[in-house]
A and B are shown apart, each in its own frame.
Chain A
Amino acid sequence: MEDFLTLRQLIEDQDYHSTFDKKWHQQTFNRISEYLIKDTEPAFSFWDDETEWTQLDAKYQEKNKDNEDMLRFTLDPDLSKLARNIKEDVKKRRILFGAATVCSLHLQDPLSSPKNDITNKLQQAFKRLSKKFAPDWSDERFENSPLSYYVRGIQIFSSSETSKKRFSFSMFSESRYSDSSFEPLTKNDKKALLLLGKENLLNFFLLRKQHYSYPEILYRYEKVFQEDPFQRTAYWELPDNGEMMYQLELCDKKTIFNYHKDYLKNFTGHSSSWGSKTFDLMRDPSIKEMTIELMMKHIKEDRYAVEEFFANHISGAVDKEDYWISKRNPEKYTYFHPNELEPLTTELKRLIEYDFQNKPKSMFELSDFNENKTRFRVAVDIAYFANRIGRWREYDSYQVMIEAVDKFLKNYFSSDYIIQSFTSYLHSRVKQDRCSGEVGGRPNDALNYFNDYINKSKKTDSIQNLDHLLNEMINFFGYKPLTNRSIYIKTLLDKCNDEE
């Protein structure tokens, strides 16, 4: 494809395609589709032993097995070169698919007169492209997917005078995240998408989820990600994919629900304002029932996540005084009154009420790690030390301060058992905090500091991130305060009670 850059203009410049005649579009379509379909190279994958990638990666893992530096991949020239080549190839093929889509629209109207040969070729190319991924997720955002290029082709074509406004594809607009949780597909949107074939579309969505379940390159060497490879980037894409699966009726509801299970178990509202993202397929009664059932089971494993889910879904129905929530269009979100989420509401209410009553009592009981001190005192001891560091200029010198830090930490991490328990606690916190920085502390930074301290790396001369470690220590050795989210839920549930 020597003239690739010229062909790219078909999906970049809305006037460019109309400068060619039908014959040119037919020839170009044939040329591109043949190129895309005949590609028999194995797809890039982390899990296929036959790929060049896997072989090179295995070689370097073996060579560097004692090297802890997770960034070694980026420094390895062969892998870097291969990654770059794969990335370019994948991107190029997707762009060409978009260009072929533009040409196909000059040859057939997808809404009224689709032609078998054109449709077949588009479907085959899409099927082939669905299996090809770039190595790095930054190149794999949904807007770079083959389906998005297909839609972009339709949008470019339909922006011309004759076929204006026949399609909406608001679901594919990036700006929509600011004012809606989901968007419906129009009848024409559905028709155009289904031209790619129900089975192909379903396969495309399933493969994307499968790919999301493998760690990004930079993180794949980290133990915590190997244990729990579900990727944070998936939070943005999976609910949209699920929406399309549902609205296009690609499969049964149980399959669609299962597609979301990991997402739901790690639900996040994406924002500091509650309810800016909801699981909108709960508008379907049977999916709602399955979701509540899942949450009831999950509450024992990860109450934090269930509370996050719950708070986001009741906020819009109950917290109407909140400025940001009141500004939202309720049609574009899926909120429920707590009564509509039973038995989850009753269960969470019981747990939160129990905590509310018992937390202060347990704070005045003896610490699990120091039989001479209450949990409250341990927490305040650590907070006092943090406060001393915050007033750093009162130390005689930086060195004196660092020695005080060392002495303080040694006092707490006095045995292997405690170190191991605390490490696994931090790992569980990191897992909980997969959308970093949204709520809660910064466990990943705490873990990094702690690892440096335990491994006696020279970085422990710094106090950067020590505050996060001390916060986690307060929770682990002392007590964990009631979360902001628990208090928020309690406030809303109390409000509902008062109203009743």
Chain B
Amino acid sequence: MTYKNPLIKKALKSDTLKELSVSNTIEELHKLFNHCLETYKENNDLSLQNAYILTIATLISRNRFNDSSDTYYENHNDVYNDLLKMLSNLHFNQSEMKKWIPEIFEECRIAYQYENTHKFFAKVFTGDNYQDYLKKIEPIIFSWDAWFSVIKDFNSSEEAQARLIKLFSSDSNLERFQGNIYGTYWRIDFLEEVLEYCEENNMPSVKHHCWKIIASEAVWGMNAEWLVNQYGYDNFFGPNKKLFEKEFLKIAIGALDHFDYDKELQWKIAWDIDFDFNKFAESEKLITFLQKRKSLRTQEILDYIENKKNDQWEYMYRLGEIFKTDPELIKDNSKIWEFFIHLPHSILKAVEEGTIRQINWSKKVKYIESIEYWKDAVPEFKKIHAGKPSEEQLLVKLLDHLSEADEKYSDVIDRLEEIGFENFNTETQKEFRDHFVNGNWRDICEPFDVYFPSEFNDEDGFYNDKKEWISFAKWSGAHEW
């Protein structure tokens, strides 16, 4: 990096920087800074010029630690407060320091270094100088937290809105902040936060410019549709609806073709890409996409049903769910349809042969009953089950009651106790052991392994009658504790 600012150049060549650079930790830098400061004072050499060099050298050294425990600005041992104190005592000149911006940020490598450096300068500059400073660093700042605080600090909402729109209109948009949080929920979470801020501060057109990132996220990421639905599809994209649809279909068709060297990945993508396409305007691209997707999904189902490794119950749930969401996928292919229509009989055969287990029996029978084309087989299921030894039926019932948290379990135990384990048939003994005697990897019996909601996140919850998400944290009042 070649620096233009003469003071930064001078600091980089200075003995002061050499001296400070041997520090590895916040405490060491703090000590060395004070040592340098004392030396300047003892030699009556603490001019404003030297204080600037010391400041630049300290900021550079602060960003060169090779210490994994390096922390954020708030650490009370950090050097920043002493730097500010020194500069204040010497009545520093904001205009002079403004000349270091943005070059001084070139020494930052990691997000928190940008954040630290920004927090320092946020205390240096005031008034118009601060606004000028914000304009200079907004395009280069890497930490998303710091970037957002920069946006929020603009006095003018027009300025903030212009910056936001510029960012979202660029090809890199949020990519610029990613680093090791790539592929996480972060983009959508952050976008949600930004858009909330924009709504509160009357910048409604920002969301219209998020079409690129939403298109990319809807294909490769997650939750994008959910975010759009918070505002309503038309309201979200506004005049840019067509741009979104075009971009989405371009990326989506590309994604379906992208993994043609690996069928399984390609199929996965075909299942992953979903959106309410009824909202889209009709177009050739849309038809092409839907046809391609259907073809890949059909291929996947065919492969799935030909793979004999799967358990019939798995087939039942998988195909049942597909049928409920997209019946045409099942109906339009004769091989899949044949398999689907005969599935209850395959299950019955496997049950008779004892090749599949009968846990959660009633739940499964209810599931079969829920599909129109399967429900005729239900009496046969009931008949087969009724012919099993009583302990086997009871065990199935007990597991059903436990999974439903139904207090009728108690009567079932009475009856199992009357029979006694030693009188169970061999198959039921084995089944009973698997469920109630042998611990799983956590040494817990499988029916006893329950999941409790967390008070610390919003993911455990339900939609109430008003279609509002009621998280456990909210329901329990934990978020107010």
Residues on A close to B: CB < 8 A?
5-6, 8-9, 272, 359-361, 363-364, 374, 376-377, 379-380, 382-384, 386-394, 398, 439-441, 462-464, 466-467, 471, 474, 481-485, 487
Residues A386 and B439 in contact, CB atoms below 8 Å apart? no
Residues on B close to A: CB < 8 A?
22-24, 28, 32, 398, 402-403, 405, 407, 409-410, 413, 417, 420-422, 429, 432-433, 436-445, 447-448, 450-455, 462, 470, 472, 475-478
- Select one of A6, A384, A482 contacting B407, CB under 8 A: A384
Residues on the A chain within 8 Å of B432, using CB: 360
Q: In this complex, what residue of B is CB-closest to A485?
A: B443
Given contacts A387-B405, A393-B470, 12 further A-B contacts (CB under 8 A): A363-B421, A364-B420, A376-B417, A377-B413, A379-B445, A384-B409, A391-B405, A439-B443, A440-B442, A441-B443, A463-B476, A484-B439
Residues on the A chain within 8 Å of B410, using CB: 377
A376, A382, A387, A462: residue with the most chain B Cβ atoms closer than 10 Å = A387
Residues on the A chain within 8 Å of B442, using CB: 439-441, 484
Residues A483 and B439 in contact, CB atoms below 8 Å apart? yes
Residues A482 and B439 in contact, CB atoms below 8 Å apart? yes
Q: In this complex, what residue of B is CB-closest to A389?
A: B452
Closest 5 CB pairs of A and B: A481-B439, A383-B448, A387-B405, A5-B22, A390-B450
Residues A393 and B437 in contact, CB atoms below 8 Å apart? no
Residues on the A chain within 8 Å of B448, using CB: 379, 382-383, 386, 471, 474
Give chain A nearest CB distance to B90 CB in angstroms.
Answer: 27
Tell me the bound Cα distance from A440 to B410 in angstroms.
28
Can you name 23 A-B residue pairings with CB atoms under 8 Å? A5-B22, A6-B22, A359-B437, A364-B421, A376-B417, A377-B417, A379-B448, A380-B409, A380-B413, A382-B448, A383-B402, A383-B450, A386-B452, A387-B402, A387-B403, A390-B405, A390-B451, A392-B475, A398-B477, A466-B452, A467-B451, A471-B448, A487-B438
Q: In this complex, what residue of A is CB-closest to B460?
A: A392
Residues on the B chain within 8 Å of A384, using CB: 402, 405, 407, 409
Residues on the B chain within 8 Å of A464, using CB: 454-455
Residues B409 and A360 in contact, CB atoms below 8 Å apart? no
Residues on the A chain within 8 Å of B440, using CB: 484
Give chain B nearest CB distance to A434 CB in angstroms.
Answer: 15
B22, B420, B429, B472: residue with the most chain A Cβ atoms closer than 10 Å = B22
Tell me the bound Cα distance from A392 to B444 in angstroms.
21
Residues on the B chain within 8 Å of A387, using CB: 402-403, 405, 450
Q: In this complex, what residue of A is CB-closest to B440?
A: A484
Tell me the bound Cα distance from A364 to B422 in angstroms.
10
Residues on the B chain within 8 Å of A388, using CB: 405
Residues on the B chain within 8 Å of A386, using CB: 448, 450, 452
Give chain B nearest CB distance to A122 CB in angstroms.
Answer: 25
Residues A9 and B455 in contact, CB atoms below 8 Å apart? no
Give chain B nearest CB distance to A213 CB in angstroms.
Answer: 27
Give chain B nearest CB distance to A306 CB in angstroms.
Answer: 16
Residues on the B chain within 8 Å of A379, using CB: 445, 448
Residues on the B chain within 8 Å of A398, using CB: 475-477
Give chain A nearest CB distance to B479 CB in angstroms.
Answer: 12
Q: In this complex, what residue of B is CB-closest to A440?
A: B443
A361, A380, A464, A482: residue with the most chain B Cβ atoms closer than 10 Å = A380
- Select one of A376, A393, A441 contacting B462, CB under 8 A: A393
- Select one of B450, B452, B475 contacting A393, CB under 8 A: B475
Give chain B nearest CB distance to A476 CB in angstroms.
Answer: 13
Residues on the B chain within 8 Å of A361, using CB: 421-422
Residues on the B chain within 8 Å of A463, using CB: 452-453, 455, 476
Give chain A nearest CB distance to B424 CB in angstroms.
Answer: 9
- Select one of B402, B437, B452 contacting A360, CB under 8 A: B437
Give chain A nearest CB distance to B103 CB in angstroms.
Answer: 28
Tell me the bound Cα distance from A377 to B413 in angstroms.
7
Residues B444 and A441 in contact, CB atoms below 8 Å apart? yes
Given the interface contacts A360-B433, A392-B472, A487-B438, does A481 sit within 8 Å of B444 by beta carbon?
yes
Q: In this complex, what residue of B is CB-closest to A482?
A: B438
Give chain B nearest CB distance to A496 CB in angstroms.
Answer: 20
Give chain B nearest CB distance to A97 CB in angstroms.
Answer: 17
Q: In this complex, what residue of A is CB-closest to B412?
A: A380
Residues on the A chain within 8 Å of B28, using CB: 5
Residues B22 and A481 in contact, CB atoms below 8 Å apart? no
Residues on the A chain within 8 Å of B433, using CB: 360
Residues on the B chain within 8 Å of A484, using CB: 438-443
Q: In this complex, what residue of A is CB-closest to B432?
A: A360
Tell me the bound Cα distance from A441 to B443 in angstroms.
7
Residues on the A chain within 8 Å of B455, using CB: 462-464
Given the interface contacts A359-B437, A374-B417, A481-B445, does A392 sit within 8 Å of B453 by beta carbon?
yes
Given the interface contacts A9-B22, A377-B417, A380-B402, does A363 sit within 8 Å of B452 by beta carbon?
no
Q: In this complex, what residue of B is CB-closest to A385?
A: B405
Tell me the bound Cα distance from A380 to B422 in angstroms.
19
Residues on the A chain within 8 Å of B436, using CB: 360, 363, 376, 481
Residues B443 and A483 in contact, CB atoms below 8 Å apart? yes
Give chain A nearest CB distance to B466 CB in angstroms.
Answer: 15
Give chain A nearest CB distance to B99 CB in angstroms.
Answer: 31
Residues on the B chain within 8 Å of A474, using CB: 445, 448
Q: In this complex, what residue of B is CB-closest to A355?
A: B437
Tell me the bound Cα distance from A481 to B413 in angstroms.
18
Residues on the A chain within 8 Å of B443, using CB: 439-441, 481, 483-485
Given the interface contacts A380-B409, A481-B444, does A467 sit within 8 Å of B421 by beta carbon?
no
Residues on the B chain within 8 Å of A439, using CB: 441-443
Residues on the A chain within 8 Å of B454, using CB: 464
Tell me the bound Cα distance from A482 to B413 in angstroms.
21
Q: In this complex, what residue of A is CB-closest to B441?
A: A484
Give chain B nearest CB distance to A459 CB in angstroms.
Answer: 10
Residues on the A chain within 8 Å of B420, using CB: 364
Q: In this complex, what residue of A is CB-closest to B419?
A: A364
- Select one of B405, B422, B438, B450 contacting A481, CB under 8 A: B438
Residues A390 and B417 in contact, CB atoms below 8 Å apart? no
Give chain B nearest CB distance to A460 CB in angstroms.
Answer: 13
Tell me the bound Cα distance from A6 to B439 in angstroms.
57
Tell me the bound Cα distance from A500 to B409 in angstroms.
44
- Select one of A5, A481, A485 contacting B23, CB under 8 A: A5
Give chain B nearest CB distance to A324 CB in angstroms.
Answer: 14
B23, B441, B470: residue with the most chain A Cβ atoms closer than 10 Å = B441
Residues B437 and A363 in contact, CB atoms below 8 Å apart? yes
Tell me the bound Cα distance from A260 to B402 in angstroms.
46
Residues on the B chain within 8 Å of A394, using CB: 405
Residues on the B chain within 8 Å of A391, using CB: 405
Residues on the B chain within 8 Å of A440, using CB: 442-443
